[in-house]
Amino acid sequence: MSAVAAEVAVRSVLAIEDAEDLAAIESEVRAFAGPLGYDRFVLFSASAAQDEVLQSIYWVEGDWFGDGESVDAETYIRRCPVTRHILEAHEPFFWTKTVGDNGDLYRIVRAPRGRGIHGLQVPIFGPLGLEGAMSLGGEQIDASAHARLTLGLVAVSAFLAARRILEGPAGDAAGKLSGRERQVLAWTAAGRRQVEIAATLGLSERTVENHLRRIRKRLGVATTAQAIRVAIRNGEIAA
């Protein structure tokens, strides 16, 4: 099977990249992951920066908690502890759920086997760090390295396509500051003082100061140090 699966994965990705609605993405993922034993899916955007890791759920489907019921987004957020691991994850990982005496126990494993719900969690990174993740789960899953790779490929493209469709073409938060302001803040984050920045950009010290004040006001923060953090978080300047 695996000799074919790689090619199928590539075809799925290409189809997903061209998808024009979420349903198309979903059916592609189902068609690819189904034969590998996966029948539960979650796709969401995330951020390591926010207080709430989980930002918005694009797609949730299947009997995630083994109680025979489908799960809605809120429930998933509240109950699934797997998502917490994505903050430390650097690449896709398999997990398994074992039912113990004191509730469910989720563990990260090399290759899940046996009874219970297992799954693959695929973190998705971008210029800002963690940007989202896809979880795939099932009871009898193909947990080979081959499956990890191909599912990872499909999951990443599914996330990117879903975000493209659901979050609009481009309009995000990276536009609160004007160009000059971003520039001044970038130099500030680089360790330059107001006088130095003024010299670098050919401005008066006063202007740099005024820019910084306006930046603080715009970002709604009290100090320049905090402005750096918020700007990084918003993608205004690079970390």
- Mark the segment that binds DNA (CB under 7 A) among 73-81, 153-161, 162-170, 207-215: 207-215
Those residues with Cβ within 8 angstroms of residue 93's Cβ, 6 or more apart along the chain or in another chain: 85, 108, 120, 121
Strand, helix or coil at 48?
A: coil
Task: By CB under 7 A, tell whether 220 contacts DNA.
Answer: no
Those residues with Cβ within 8 angstroms of residue 234's Cβ, 6 or more apart along the chain or in another chain: 173, 174, 176, 219
Please identify, using beta-carbon distances, which residue of 144 and 207 lies nearer to DNA: 207
Name the binder of 78 from DNA, a copy of itself, none, CB < 5-8 A by kind: none
Fill in the DSSP letter of residue 53: S
Considering the complex, what minimum distance in angstroms separates the CB of residue 203 from DNA? 3
Task: By CB under 7 A, tell whether 70 contacts DNA.
Answer: no
- Mark the segment that binds DNA (CB under 7 A) among 12-20, 26-34, 162-170, 223-231: 223-231
Name the binder of 195 from DNA, a copy of itself, none, CB < 5-8 A by kind: DNA
229 by Cβ neighbours in 10 Å (0-12 / 13-18 / 19+) ranks as middle
First to last CA, the chain: 43
For DNA, the binding residue among 193, 220, 238, 239 (CB under 7 A) is 193
* Strand 54-61, strand 93-100: pairing: unpaired
Q: Pull the structure tokens for residue 25.
A: 């993405």
Which residue type does 51 have? D
For DNA, the binding residue among 99, 213, 220, 239 (CB under 7 A) is 213
CA dist., res. 114 & res. 8, Å (int): 27
Considering the complex, what minimum distance in angstroms separates the CB of residue 197 from DNA? 8
Please identify, using beta-carbon distances, which residue of 198 and 228 lies nearer to a copy of itself: 228
Task: By CB under 7 A, tell whether 212 contacts DNA.
Answer: yes
- Mark the segment that binds DNA (CB under 7 A) among 5-13, 107-115, 174-182, 228-236: 174-182
Footprint of DNA (CB under 7 A): 178-181, 193-195, 198, 201, 203-207, 209-214, 216, 222-225
